Amino acid sequence: MVKTKRKAAGRVTWPRKIIHIDMDAFYAAIEQRDHPDYRGKPVVVGGDPRNRGVVSTASYEARKYGIHSAMPAATAKRLCPQAIFLRPRFEAYRCASRQIMSILRQHTELVEPVSLDEAYLDVTKHKLHIDNPVIVASLIKQNIAAVTHLTASAGVAPNLFLAKIASDFQKPDGLTVIPPDAVQAFLKDLPVRKIPGVGPVTEKGLLAKGIKTCGDLATLDSAWLTRTFGKTGLFLYHRALGVDEREVEPHTERKQYSAEETFEKDVLDTEWLKSQLRVYAEEIYEGLKKSGRMGNTLVLKVKYHDFEQITRSKTFARRPENWQEIYRIACLLLETKTLAGRKPIRLLGVGMSGLRPLAEAAKVETGDLFDGVL
Ligand code: TTP
Ligand code: MG
């Protein structure tokens, strides 16, 4: 079904040739590269396990003990006391990231970096006229290994979401191809949770209706899915059929990072709105940290039931060091600068602007931003 050899691209016609590259255990792999003593050992990069630090990532040796990103570092220490615990060195990670992105641009200008260690490429028209995208992906992996001494996993598919699933399929050092003629077979047994964007809550809603796989989703009526799950229903239906029309968008780094949602019903309950702010705050904090940046201004966006839209912002004295700080300021703005609780709200969002590389922010502002935080 999923082919990993070059012949996979064979004679099939590719409507688009998309590659997703994702580095393996990125921060931890760089630490092992730069400190030969750490190779082959469990390495955990993140905050201080003695404080309230959180794991940024763990080497594959450490993952065997159940350690993973976003876990409290103290829990990681309990699971594997002998692991090597390190604070992040963002400058080293950004340097490797720049090398990787420049290798990708040797193949096409259509490169969309998603975070420091992840990017999409559209190689439908390859710069050096290499037709077979599997050969391109394999060359990229070799180039990255030669220049950075790090391993990457690659996914090759006819669209972005399939390429992303593919790159994750055989980590580490994987190369997974989903040729156009294998898409349906690949999706048939794929658990819904594997669709990027489907988190635990959506998964639970789908499982409650007996929908386990993309194959299950594809047999359903799209109108029923839309009625039952709103906009998400249609999104899921398309993904289950292997449809993803998004283009690879080469961009400079985003100026703002945000999360927002239009609710199915207008909401008056302030406590419920605050529970949404908590979700956005966590998402924004983790997302920004993953991209190696942090903002200094929080923007709260509210659209009332009558479509009147307002934004309220607040600049932090120093960049937030955890999601709770973002959450606290968002709640403050909601409670003091909007009509929440008095006028029904149909859309709520939080954004961060004034984005800066984390290492730079740390140097400039506190000198020790990461202690006990990441
Ligand atoms: P990922 O690509 O999600 O993870 P990874 O590269 O460490 O491991 P793999 O891809 O092999 O599963 O994230 C890239 C880097 O982003 C990661 O090395 C550290 C950072 N990161 C965080 O700081 N916090 C997080 O919650 C996550 C998921 C990643
Ligand atoms: Mg990675």
Asked if residue 6 belongs to a domain, the reply is no
- In the numeric block, the tokens 């490797």 are attached to 96
| pLDDT reported for residue 359 | 65
Residue numbers of the domain that contains 340: 256-362
pLDDT reported for residue 365: 36
Share of the chain above pLDDT 70, in %: 91
Q: Give the model's pLDDT for residue 175.
A: 98
Ligand nearest to the CA of 47: 1
Average pLDDT over residues 134-146: 98
Domain count, the chain: 4
Q: Given this model, what pLDDT does residue 362 score?
A: 44
Residue type, 64: K
The answer to whether residues 88 and 374 touch, using CB atoms and an 8 Å cutoff, is: yes
- Atom nearest to 118 CA in ligand 1: 2
Distance CA 102, CA 120 (A): 13
Tell me which residues have their CB within 5 A of the ion that is ligand 2: 22-23, 26, 117
Residue 360 has pLDDT above 80, yes or no: no
Same domain, 292 and 348: yes
* Residue from 73, 62, 57, 71 nearest 23 by CA: 57
**Ligand 2 centroid from CA 306, angstroms:** 43
CA–CA distance, 181 with 237 (Å, rounded to integer): 19
Instruction: Tell the residue number behind the tokens 């403050």, with chain if given.
Output: 332
User: From CA 169, how far away is CA 161, in angstroms rounded?
Assistant: 13
CB 164 within 8 A of CB 178: no
- Mean pLDDT in the chain? 89
Least confident of 38-42, 179-183, 231-235: 231-235
84-86 and 18-23 strand pairing: unpaired
* Nearest ligand (C-alpha, residue 86): 1
212 domain residue, yes or no: yes
What confidence score (pLDDT) does residue 303 get? Answer: 93
Question: Is the CB of 287 inside a 6 Å radius of any atom of ligand 1?
Answer: no
Name the residue with tokens 């469990």: 42
CATH number of the domain within which 291 lies: 3.30.1490.100
Same domain for 137 and 55?
no
* Residue where one domain finishes, among candidates 75, 90, 105: 90
Residue 171 CB–ligand 1 contact under 6 Å: yes
DSSP of 73-99, one letter per residue?
A: HHHHHHH-TTSEEE---HHHHHHHHHH
Amino acid sitting at position 72: P
Q: Based on the domain organization, do 171 and 196 belong to the same domain?
A: no
Same domain, 139 and 19: yes
The CATH number covering residue 55 comes to 3.40.1170.60
Does the pLDDT value for residue 373 go beyond 50? no
Which residue type is seen at 311? T
Please compute the mean of the pLDDT values over residues 196-208 and round it to a whole number.
86
The pLDDT value recorded for residue 6 is 45
Quick one: 268 and 307 in the same domain? yes
Q: Given pLDDT bands bounded at 50, 70 and 90, which one contains residue 28?
A: very high
Residue 319 within a domain: yes
